[in-house]
Amino acid sequence: MKRLLTLFFCLFAVFGAAKGQDASVSYLPAWQEGFFDIHFIATGKGEAQFLVFPNGTTMLIDAGDMTGRPGVWAMSKVLPDSSKTPAEWIATYIDRFSPTPGRIDYVLLSHFHADHMGSPSAFRDGPHGYRMAGLMELGEYVKIGTLVDRGYPSYDFPSVEMVEGMNKGGMPHYKRFVNYQIQNNGMKAEQIVVGSHKQFTPGKTGYDFDVWTVAGNLRVATGRGSRTKLMNTEDPIEYQFDENMFSIVLLFRYGDFKYYTGGDLPGSRTSANGRNRDYESQVVGLIAPCNVMKANHHGYYDTNNPNFLWKMAPDFIIIPAFGGHHPTAPFMDRVTDPLYPGKRIIYSTSASCRERLGEERFKKIEDWGHIVIRVFDNGARYRIFVLDATTTDYRIKSQTDVQISKRNID
């Protein structure tokens, strides 16, 4: 009976306009206990995911801002418009859809790149002794419970110089931001614990729900308790590792539903200087198959390799895009190749790639905007909504309802 009522609510409420909204269009119903919501927030300038767990715990993964960067970055404009900064739009979005507006329980920074945390080109003066954009600016608008990144508290792996160079000019301000929030706003900060099932789900949630930290900081879980192992065989300083190689990988499971997100984890075999960058193949055996996956590195050349795609067999792939080079043509050719299993229906947070991809490839993207995956019925069903990112009322553009397939739980 409970299952039928939940499904009825999902089918009925989506067509009812909320008070004060245009009755001629549809809006996303408010989150209810038992729903697992995954929001890809389309700002046009950086990556941001907002999640609400079935028990109401909230989590933000990344809050980038590439405003001011030239070239392909400038091909994507601030969404819905430039009247607010990307951080202000993220805060506005969270206030709209969070069960606890003004507060986020967990913020995870997947790695220290500007499109995930804020670029110095977007910085403006802040009131607390550090310049701010993206995640650092977001701290002005929402209260953060716990911040998790790969470097706290020393930010010295593999060396201070390398960490500082991952977002040149940005890391000193980020570290001041972290210290200020701890000392003045009660924020906690932690380094990611690879292999943990407890860092983001303390205590009992009352639901068959789990968040597993699969990899990060050049370590990967083994699947045997909390044990981990190194992902690299080369020295990261000598071989000049890029920050994407340190990306944090999480697997979210709600009943039979599985969702993967892995920052900008690379999947190319080798680079010019001989580094092995195929980290996708080191994690895929632990997580595959998955119902929904975030495309690694925004669908760039060096990710989502054939081995990864074959084993993941995703029904849906979400591309957090915000530049003219996201996604690339080779990526689109791989993920739409009928050779690989899974439906592989593709959504994007931006249409700025349209010119570079060309119409033939672009039309293979199902829709674009704010992408929302709502999982319900204890993980047995989920629905994907696309919300209009060009308006301020977040009206629904399209939606689809999915029942977990047997293939994905075998």
The residues, ordered by sequence, that sit 6+ positions from 309 with a Cβ below 8 Å of its Cβ are 334, 335, 340, 344
**Amino acid symbol at 33:** E
Residues of the chain with pLDDT under 70: 1-21, 203-204, 270-274, 405-410
d(CA 398, CA 363): 15
Each residue's pLDDT tens digit, 355-373: 999 999 999 999 999 999 9
Q: 314: domain CATH number?
A: 3.60.15.10
Comparing CA positions, the residue from 344, 305, 297 lying closest to residue 322 is: 297
Cβ burial, residue 83 (10 Å; 0-12/13-18/19+): exposed
d(CA 7, CA 27): 17
Instruction: Enter the tokens of residue 247.
Output: 């990306």
Which residue, chain included where needed, has tokens 């580094």? 275
pLDDT at residue 388, rounded to an integer: 98
pLDDT at residue 20, rounded to an integer: 52
pLDDT at residue 283, rounded to an integer: 98
d(CA 220, CA 194): 7
Neighbouring-strand partners of residue 317: 293, 346
pLDDT at residue 12, rounded to an integer: 43
> What are the two backbone dihedrals, phi and then psi, of residue 214, each rounded to the nearest 5 degrees?
-85, -40
pLDDT at residue 407, rounded to an integer: 53
How many domains is the chain partitioned into structurally?
1
Each residue's pLDDT tens digit, 202-232: 766 789 999 999 999 999 999 998 899 999 9
* Helix, strand, coil percentages in the chain from 3-state DSSP, rounded to 5: 25, 25, 50
pLDDT at residue 4, rounded to an integer: 42
What is the domain extent for residue 370? 2-408
**Count of beta carbons in the 10 Å neighbourhood of residue 107:** 24
3-state SS, residue 337: coil
pLDDT at residue 318, rounded to an integer: 98
* Alpha-carbon 314 to chain mean position: 16
